[in-house]
Structure 1
């Protein structure tokens, strides 16, 4: 990449435009938060259409894009289509690079409204944070893109030659089921030299983070059967293994005594991690007094570079309906996070082998609904990574930290497959207290402003580059 001969842009003017535009950006974010767009079929799907239309209007109103469309893609293997996504594009001019900006407009269900201090879809500001479902994950990512484009376009004006594609997905929280097909259908419109995925977090509310590794995932449903019908626990208990007993016994084999994963074939990654104390973990995770952390090694190595296994759902007799009965079957959902460098398929196969080998009392196991995703390791040697780190430093006023993330963004593997030459930059507006997916999700307002400043500077600096011929 080389610098182009264009009139110099005042980066002070860029930062001033970000500050001036911040109230409007937050107002627009509040409007998006009020739309309860959830991709699960149990929820009103017209709300996702409203959400897509609102995002498309914001993109159109920037005046930057040549075309703004609301599109759907087929879900492979089904006769269904995915949820509405927004695709906005403008062609690069005069040899400038193209950047693809990604975020998603769907949100997690709010859960129990009683656990929210304020209504989940009524944006509320208190103590320097904006509360509401999607305020951080990921409608703030959308508005970071929109607000940074506004600021860059205002200052650069007619000299904005940078190619920009913006892809705002509508089903990320529901598994991105049509994502790969959407990429294939719109490959040329989405093709870019650098891709910003604004769906991650930062080191803290004042220190930016560039995510350079993500764990993969392996999620599946397991049914455990020991009987062909329920039986009286008094008549047969002590001789007949019920499904709950078998399930509890089997699940306990997944972990060592210290809580680390005890599954042969699930690997770990060796990599240094920054200092991170148990006190910080307790504060950020909400660990109760007296409850101890699990695993071994540094705390961040356990979250970033080692596998984890969590039982996230169980179907059995409820407490309210409990009776003196031996259960014939129990169904659980298991979610594993996979260390970077191992595929989701390899991890799932290791888990299935382990569970079958340790099934107690000859219990019958059935596996279904397998959902896999691979981890991600960033090549940090590219020009776009260097440019982003510099923009973070100047946008936040603090040097960024290279982060690993314990969560997964499986669709990044699809981006890598479709656009192998593109440099992928995983950024975000969340901080450790954002509580994404949880009640009282929130966005730190200063973090948002700094994230917008970072991206606006990145756009301006990319606009001054020319691709080699």
Structure 2
């Protein structure tokens, strides 16, 4: 691993565009965060206990309770302008409850918007959990529970950092601060764009911090500077008008699952690279991940060869990655000796930064239609799409964030990519084209967000609070213009 370092923490008292202002009381902010950290952790545990899931198949009452609990946290932090708001979905049903709170900026001071989400993923199979999903448990320096990392820790990092800045800076703190805690992110943010349009002025800011990402590893902080985009959809193969007996008719025609499997096999080359023409791909990454680290973090079984070529970090962040995430076929236990007339699969394609999602969707469609096996009928149905993100690392906000992360952890921060997608960032940039966006987070490679035994490294969580408090103080002192 060869990370690209930020400004060294030893340069903390040197003024200039890459360094903190001498007036920032970094020690005071650390002491303030430490003094209230037990309470911060207790509040996080209380949030984890609320199973707020925005999926339509789940009871909406806990999600409402989650929003109210977050609103009370903000009021307890001294904010008076706190609202629970929502927009309607396309079908007219209400979206998830978002919590918005504001502190007006003093004259001449910028405004920062702090984003996180209070809804969580469903717990999944309870047999896979070593603790109760919605009962936060501390064990070996980590806090376990659904939402402990993704993303209720993001909420508490914002709230605790703000409280520390207010306590230390007092009347000198003139920064405008808007808290925006979404209530449907894990359900795909179906009303996010309409919410932004409706509350455009309420949410307007100079800097946006999205606390929904990860750090490089435990003990090494990172600013996420690139995110892959996403397109998905379904591919259906049709070969017969109806199912027929495999003994009576098998041989001259191949069944639909077999032909669909052959079509799926054309999506990658022999090395495992995505074989669809017209997709953006590059090797330009500033840090490296070793094969041993990747295998350990992803739980790859011994003997399984890694797919693709080029650096592992590039394969994760700056190259396309295609997966089959669903397959319609009879289950083995109920299968009969029948030639199946049709089969369908759902694909998910992660896009390299700079890739146009519409062009990528067209490329997939051209590929599957051109590679229809044995003349089978192929029906391609486009699904969702989301743009990639590439940060302006030369911005003042990014420079300040890299310093704050390095100062809080005591080691240089790195700029890293994430293989996943946060499509709503494109909406933020569309509505606020001049905003400076920072993608931060509290997770690490072993947080297991969305999986059983999700957890948060408590020491890194504390550092994340300190880093954000330092960032607030730096923006308050120097602005972003």
TM range (shorter): over 0.9
> Where does residue 48 of structure 1 map in the other structure?
63
Distance 1:123 1:381, change over 3 A: same
Pick from 69, 72, 82: which aligns with 2:83? Answer: 69
> Where does residue 27 of structure 2 map in the other structure?
12
Tell me, yes or no, if the aligned pair for 1:74 and 1:81 is still in contact at 8 Å. Answer: yes
Q: Does 1:333 align with 2:346?
A: yes
* Per-residue deviation, 1:325: 1.1
Map residues 130-279 of structure 1 onto 2, 5 A cutoff: 130-279=143-292
Q: Does 1:28 align with 2:43?
A: yes
- When normalised by structure 2's length, the TM-score is 0.93
Pick from 385, 389, 407: which aligns with 1:394? Answer: 407
- Please give the secondary structure, in 2, of the residue aligned with 1:433: coil
- When normalised by structure 1's length, the TM-score is 0.96
Whole-angstrom CA distance in 2 between matches of 1:308 and 1:275: 18
Pick from 347, 362, 378: which aligns with 1:349? Answer: 362
Q: Does 1:443 align with 2:456?
A: yes
Whole-angstrom CA distance in 1 between matches of 2:51 and 2:262: 40
Whole-angstrom CA distance in 2 between matches of 1:66 and 1:382: 31
Whole-angstrom CA distance in 1 between matches of 2:363 and 2:74: 45
> Where does residue 100 of structure 1 map in the other structure?
113
* Per-residue deviation, 1:16: 0.5
* Per-residue deviation, 1:367: 3.1
Whole-angstrom CA distance in 2 between matches of 1:302 and 1:52: 38
Distance 1:441 1:466, change over 3 A: closer
Moved segments of 4+, more than 6 Å: none
Tell me, yes or no, if the aligned pair for 1:310 and 1:335 is still in contact at 8 Å. Answer: yes
Whole-angstrom CA distance in 2 between matches of 1:7 and 1:385: 19
Tell me, yes or no, if the aligned pair for 2:397 and 2:480 is still in contact at 8 Å. Answer: no
Whole-angstrom CA distance in 2 between matches of 1:207 and 1:455: 15
Whole-angstrom CA distance in 2 between matches of 1:242 and 1:443: 47
CA deviations 1:208-229 (Å, max 9, x no partner) are 1001111000011222222222
Distance 1:9 1:378, change over 3 A: closer
Tell me, yes or no, if the aligned pair for 2:387 and 2:423 is still in contact at 8 Å. Answer: yes
Tell me, yes or no, if the aligned pair for 1:343 and 1:373 is still in contact at 8 Å. Answer: no
Q: Does 1:316 align with 2:329?
A: yes
Tell me, yes or no, if the aligned pair for 1:96 and 1:467 is still in contact at 8 Å. Answer: no
> Where does residue 4 of structure 2 map in the other structure?
none
- Please give the secondary structure, in 2, of the residue aligned with 1:213: strand
> Where does residue 427 of structure 1 map in the other structure?
440
Whole-angstrom CA distance in 1 between matches of 2:209 and 2:141: 26
Whole-angstrom CA distance in 1 between matches of 2:423 and 2:282: 18
Tell me, yes or no, if the aligned pair for 2:320 and 2:352 is still in contact at 8 Å. Answer: yes
> Where does residue 75 of structure 2 map in the other structure?
60
* Per-residue deviation, 1:466: 4.8
Tell me, yes or no, if the aligned pair for 2:285 and 2:313 is still in contact at 8 Å. Answer: no
> Where does residue 284 of structure 1 map in the other structure?
297
- Please give the secondary structure, in 2, of the residue aligned with 1:385: helix
Whole-angstrom CA distance in 2 between matches of 1:395 and 1:223: 51
CA deviations 1:54-93 (Å, max 9, x no partner) are 1111111100x34111111123x43233111111111101
Whole-angstrom CA distance in 1 between matches of 2:377 and 2:324: 19
Q: Does 1:125 align with 2:134?
A: no
Whole-angstrom CA distance in 1 between matches of 2:270 and 2:215: 32
- Please give the secondary structure, in 1, of the residue aligned with 2:148: coil
Whole-angstrom CA distance in 2 between matches of 1:365 and 1:109: 34
Gap regions ≥5 residues in structure 2 = 1-15
- Please give the secondary structure, in 1, of the residue aligned with 2:332: coil
Distance 1:50 1:325, change over 3 A: same
Tell me, yes or no, if the aligned pair for 2:408 and 2:467 is still in contact at 8 Å. Answer: yes
Q: Does 1:412 align with 2:432?
A: no
* Per-residue deviation, 1:294: 0.7
CA deviations 1:164-214 (Å, max 9, x no partner) are 011111111111111111111111111111110001111111111001111
CA deviations 1:393-430 (Å, max 9, x no partner) are 11111111000111101111011111111100000000
* Per-residue deviation, 1:9: 5.2
Tell me, yes or no, if the aligned pair for 1:9 and 1:155 is still in contact at 8 Å. Answer: no
Whole-angstrom CA distance in 2 between matches of 1:453 and 1:61: 20
Whole-angstrom CA distance in 1 between matches of 2:289 and 2:327: 33
Whole-angstrom CA distance in 2 between matches of 1:366 and 1:81: 33
